[in-house]
Chains A and B, each alone.
Chain A
Amino acid sequence: MSEKEMGLEEALDDLERIVEELEDGKKSLEESLDLYEKGTKLVRLCQARLESAEQRIESLTGELPPDLD
């Protein structure tokens, strides 16, 4: 699954796991750096997701009141 398709939930779950693994301190430095890189990417991905959000409203009948359209 590419990052674009990754849902917010999945990204946050991954991030949580990475943070915990890092804090666990059992990884080698190289692995830690990898994790840090991955984690940072996930943080950016989530932030972008949250910032890019414009409210997208659609109606199943296709019609929206003018104040919502």
Chain B
Amino acid sequence: MTQIFTVTDLNERIKDRLENDPRLHDLWARGEISNYVNHRSGHRYFTLKDRDSQISCVLFKNSGVRLGFELKDGQNVLVYGDVAVYRPQGRVQLMARGIRLDEGLGFRHLQLEAVKKKLAGEGLFGLERKRELPRYPQRIGIVTSPQGAALRDVLRIIGAYPARIILSPAQVQGDGAEESIALAIRALQGKADVVIVCRGGGSTEDLWCFNSEIVARAIFECDSPVISAVGHETDVTIADFVADVRAPTPTAAAEMAVPDIVALQTYLVQAQVRMARALWSGLERKRERLDYLVRSFSAQKMYALASEMRQRLDWLNERLGDAQKEKLTESKRRLELAQGRLAAVGPRATLSRGYAIARLPRGLVLGAEDVRPGEVVELILARGRILAKVLECNSEAEDSR
């Protein structure tokens, strides 16, 4: 027969079972500390974890005083205590009664130090390669999760500043986050004047992807300056070391990326005032010319400017007309030339054999009857032309004389 528990009864039963198991009492557990919180009450809370699993731990105030060292995230420790169930949340936890430092740092921290050392050796953290941020970026690239609060924070700060904002979406925690972030940074190649790589606060595990080598290299190879803003002020990742500028939070990153728009507007008004004042004091210095300047010079100047512009416009119009006309005449001339040459080409061969073409303004001379004595005939020869006066016209066919 199936028994139906209330949740309270169920947790009560689990609690009884676990807490009465002698194997879950007075035990040692080995792991790495993360999410360490030193509560105001004096109790300390943390997660003990290894590569594949984790468990919540509590160290009550009266046990804590005997520790003899400060607990820190990343420490490898041995925890002595009992398994207990926190009934309101049905949570299994380890009630620590003693903690001992395990030798060395946690595995991941060792790994982190190795990556850091390698990248530092290659010069990725070099101060000499840090680039300055543009003062007035026109394209701002943001690498972050489209769903995250970090993006909203950044957008709120950028606010009315006139720039194109290019979001390069990335998965910022969990499996594949490292590749996703690196890819998103590379996708902004050539597309941004400044890049903000950001993520809101989270546990050390959540932020871990920003410690990866491929993210570091993507930031290093980014063609525009990169501002990193990962987690809160106290979270420092390798990404922060490689970035050109590290911001404590996404909000701060946005403030660094864009100028203060109110300050800018104030500056513009001040510039106008300064110019007017400078101009005025210039006028004061030349008081004798003041009347002239105020009454006539400025008006005259405006008038001159206008008339000059009008003239220039006329001139341009004319030039435009001329240019078109010129083109037309040129075409015509070339056409005539071509026609003349075409005509010459035909009979040229004949002419070069000693023949001539006789021509009158009214047409070609083909027979003696086409001309009258005294008329001037144009003779076109193989080379050049001559004008000849007709002495006699004999329409009979050629006879021997």
- Give the B-binding residues of A (Cβ under 8 A): 7-9, 12, 15-16, 18-19, 22-23, 25, 27, 29-30, 32-33, 35-36, 39-40, 43, 46-47, 49-50, 52-53, 55-61, 63-65, 68
Contact = CB atoms under 8 A, between A and B. Distances in A.
Interface in B270-304: 271-272, 274-276, 278-279, 281-283, 285-286, 289, 293, 297-298, 301
B14 interface: no
Contact of A29 (B161, B188, B261, B286): B286
A17 B39 CA distance: 57
Contacts of B3: none
Interface of B: 134-136, 138, 146-147, 151, 155, 158-169, 184, 187-188, 191, 261, 264-265, 268, 271-272, 274-276, 278-279, 281-283, 285-286, 289, 293, 297-298, 301
Given A22-B278, A53-B160, A64 B286 contact: no
A30 B272 CA distance: 18
A61 B169 contact: yes
A47 B164 contact: no
A27 B275 CA distance: 13
The binding surface of chain A is classed by DSSP as: helix
B161 A53 contact: yes
Nearest to A38: B275
A22 B271 CA distance: 11
9 contacts: A7-B136, A29-B297, A30-B301, A32-B278, A43-B272, A50-B161, A53-B162, A59-B168, A60-B188
With most chain A CB atoms within 10 A of its CB, the pick from B158, B191, B268 is B268
B258 to A, nearest CB: 11
Given A8-B136, A25-B282, A57-B166, 10 more contacts: A7-B136, A22-B274, A22-B282, A23-B274, A32-B279, A39-B271, A49-B162, A56-B164, A60-B167, A64-B146
A51 to B, nearest CB: 8
A68 B138 CA distance: 19
Contacts of B272: 39-40, 43
A57 B293 contact: no
Contacts of A39: 271-272, 275
